[in-house]
Amino acid sequence: MTNIKKIKIGDYRATIIWNYLNIGINILAGFVFFPLILKYLGEKELGIFGLFYSIKSFIDIGIGWMSASIIKNLLKYNYLKDSIFTLSFLINSFYAIFCFLFFCIYGLLKGDIFVSSIYFGIFAGISFACLPFYELLMVNNMQSVVGFFKFLSQFLFFIFSFAIFFLSSEKGLSDIFLGLFIGSVATFIMVILYVKSNFNIAFDFIHISKTLFSRIFFIDGKSIFLNSLLLIAILQIDVLLIVYLYGEEILAKYMIIYKIPNTLIMLGWRLSEPFGIVISRQIKKDKNSAYLNFLKIEKKILIAGLLVAFGYFFLGHLVLEAWLGDKIYEVKYMYIASSALIFLSIIQRLYFMTNFYTNGMNILNLLMIVELLCKILFILVLFNYFKEVSAILGWLFGLLITIYFYRKNSKGIFIDAKS
């Protein structure tokens, strides 16, 4: 068994490894559960499965922006770490309760998915409850440990869900979500035990001042909130619009054609995600070295993006056929559009993360609005012609417009830092 005390903390490569193991188990889960749901439950249930994760992503806006603001302020004001940790704990507890109640009410209104909603609501709530501890680990250069726990949660989810689904005589989505619930609870307990054994956790309510609250929520938080809102909207608006306008069955078909491209995009994003915190530290110490490091990573990610995009273009059909067999679903332009989107999205993520923990958020938000509007427009206006690939083409068109400005904005950060 892995001894997480021996993990080299603050190590970029270690974080990348755990992130890739995490997304690797997600890929495996997708490749296993998608066909199983289609075979035993049907397209409608697959659509509901995707819809639940999409709704959770929008609720995550409430913590995504705040978590980034918390980390930013912990890096700046380490002497207030107990107060900031306490504030994060309180807010995330509120979000956890809200999230659980939301899914319970949704399941109650739907009726036939109530049990599934309860399990998923507990999982979503625990996701919030873990964040204060993850934030504490990350500001202490323990990103690799956070990566390990996220991988562990997904690994346990896959093992338990797969076992429960096959052992169940009457199979349903609740079997899969029960495994998700068990895995998240087990991981949450281990996270608390690990943090407690390595840190002196102290709750400090006295020094949660109006100034601290204002800085986290408004001064630093407002631009991050808008950014998080736009990012989640870009990633999930297609799911919500398609299920609302065209139903769960059409959503299931979209999920089938977009599952592999989306997985490859997420893999590419993992290359850049640890870079945000790293560059924020390097700019303070050595601005020239930070810029040179940025250029080196940019070149590597450009090459990686091209390789992944060409790989999907030439092998995408074979992989999809091997995965789903006779349930394969294809749409005109899906391979070429997805390949171009994969490349542009991977390199865009580098520019995105370069800005995230430093400056330049306002321009970045404006560019993301352009992407979002393009995606919505294609789904609303061109769906009859492009079918399920319209959402992919919409995001691609938005990136073609904005990618030059993303890079220009990223380079501007280093120029501002030097001045």
> Would 412 be classed as within a structural domain?
yes
Residue 227 pLDDT more than 80? no
Q: Return the percentage of the chain with pLDDT > 90, whole number.
A: 30
User: Are both 157 and 272 inside the same structural domain?
Assistant: no
Considering the entire predicted model, what is its pTM?
A: 0.75
18 occurs within a structural domain: yes
Of 157-166, 200-209, 215-224, 389-398, give the range with the top mean pLDDT. Answer: 389-398
When pLDDT is averaged across residues 323-344 and rounded to a whole number, the result is: 90
pLDDT of 39 higher than 60: yes
> Which of 219, 237, 262 is the endpoint of a domain?
219
* Residue 237 included in any domain: no
178 and 288 inside one domain: no
| pLDDT for the residue 206 | 77
Structural domain contains residue 232: no
Residues 175 and 138 in one domain: yes
pLDDT in tens, 257-268: 998 998 899 888
Do 213 and 251 reside in the same domain of the chain? Answer: no
How far apart, in whole angstroms, are the C-alpha atoms of residue 362 and residue 355? 10
- What pLDDT is recorded for position 58? 62
Same domain (yes/no): 183, 274: no
150 with 37, same domain: the answer is: yes
Is 367 part of a structural domain of the chain?
yes
Report yes or no on 201 lying in a domain: yes
* Residue 412 and residue 347 share a domain: yes
Are 212 and 315 in the same domain?
Answer: no
Does residue 205 share a domain with residue 276? no
| Same domain as 339, residue 416 | yes
Last residue of a domain, one of 200, 219, 238: 219
pLDDT score at 1: 37
pLDDT of residue 7 exceeding 70, the answer is no
Q: What is the mean pLDDT of the chain?
A: 83
Residues 285 and 326 in one domain: yes
**Is the residue at 239 inside a domain?**
no
Co-location of 210 and 256 in the same domain: no
Domain count for the chain, please give it: 2
**Could you tell me the pLDDT band of residue 57, with boundaries at 50, 70 and 90?**
low
